[in-house]
Amino acid sequence: MNDQEKNTEGFIPAHGGYRHLFSYQKAEIVYDGTVYFTNRFFNKYDRTVGQMVQAARSGKQNIAEGSMASATSKEMEIKLTNVARASLEELQIDYEDFLRTRKLPIWEKNHRLVARVRELNKSTPTPSYETFQKAIEHEDPEICANVMITLIKICTYLLNQQIKKLEIAFVKEGGLRERMTRARIEERKKKP
């Protein structure tokens, strides 16, 4: 834990720690998988490569930035977490376009391999790229793209849950101004 995460005194709450968020861990897998996927299936000069990699990067980076911004702005944390979610939605559409334009099926949520990816996701405390590597790097592009879609959906679900928790925390605790005011009031109460 770094000093920013340990702060328990004062009105600036603990923040950072994004590397411990499941949403960040999944977003990192999605980013790494997207870099692999675009290098493999697209010409390096294809604009789609840059767009997909940037959407995957934006998903990951906005989770980190939101976590760090949370120290002074819960509103910014919520906004950036939502930007991460929107970026991953854009990326999911790119994978769906890849499958559709190649006349490959987009798997339904009850597909047996979707269930397998979800099972792998729950199998270890912290799944990594290596957990899903065989599927992400499979020789069949249908499997590769659909596994990436499934991982994006898992990450998006986690971000949805994270945003709900952030909203609840904001309503209960308020933002920086409210914490600053409470800290001043508490300090005044201590003085005779």
Q: How many alpha carbons lie under 13 Å from residue 117 in its C-beta half-sphere?
A: 28
* Helix locations, the chain, DSSP H: 3-6, 22-41, 47-69, 74-101, 112-123, 129-136, 141-173, 176-190
Region 155-182: mean pLDDT is: 77
Cα angle: 163, vertex 168, 172; to 5 degrees: 145
Region 144-167: mean pLDDT is: 94
- Quote the pLDDT of residue 186: 67
Q: How many of the other CB atoms lie within 10 Å of CB of 120?
A: 17
Q: How many domains are contained in the chain?
A: 1
- Six-digit token string for 65: 């930035």
pLDDT at position 36 over 50: yes
Hey, what amino acid is at 93? I
Q: How many alpha carbons lie under 13 Å from residue 163 in its C-beta half-sphere?
A: 18
pLDDT at position 21 over 60: yes
- Quote the pLDDT of residue 3: 41
- Six-digit token string for 19: 């590397």
Cα angle: 16, vertex 180, 184; to 5 degrees: 140
- Six-digit token string for 132: 């899903």
Q: Which single residue is written with the structure tokens 């939605």?
A: 89
- Quote the pLDDT of residue 2: 45
Share of the chain above pLDDT 90, in %: 62
List the CATH number of the domain containing 74: 1.20.1440.60
pLDDT at position 6 over 50: no
pLDDT at position 175 over 60: no
Please tell me which residue, 1 or 161, carries the higher pLDDT value. 161
- Quote the pLDDT of residue 9: 52
- Mean of pLDDT over the chain: 85
Q: d(Cα 169, Cα 14) in Å, to the nearest integer?
A: 13
Give the domain range for residue 163: 3-190
Give 48-77 pLDDT, tens digit per residue. 999 999 999 999 999 999 888 876 677 888
- Quote the pLDDT of residue 114: 95
Give 80-134 pLDDT, tens digit per residue. 999 999 999 999 999 999 999 999 999 999 999 999 999 999 877 788 999 999 9
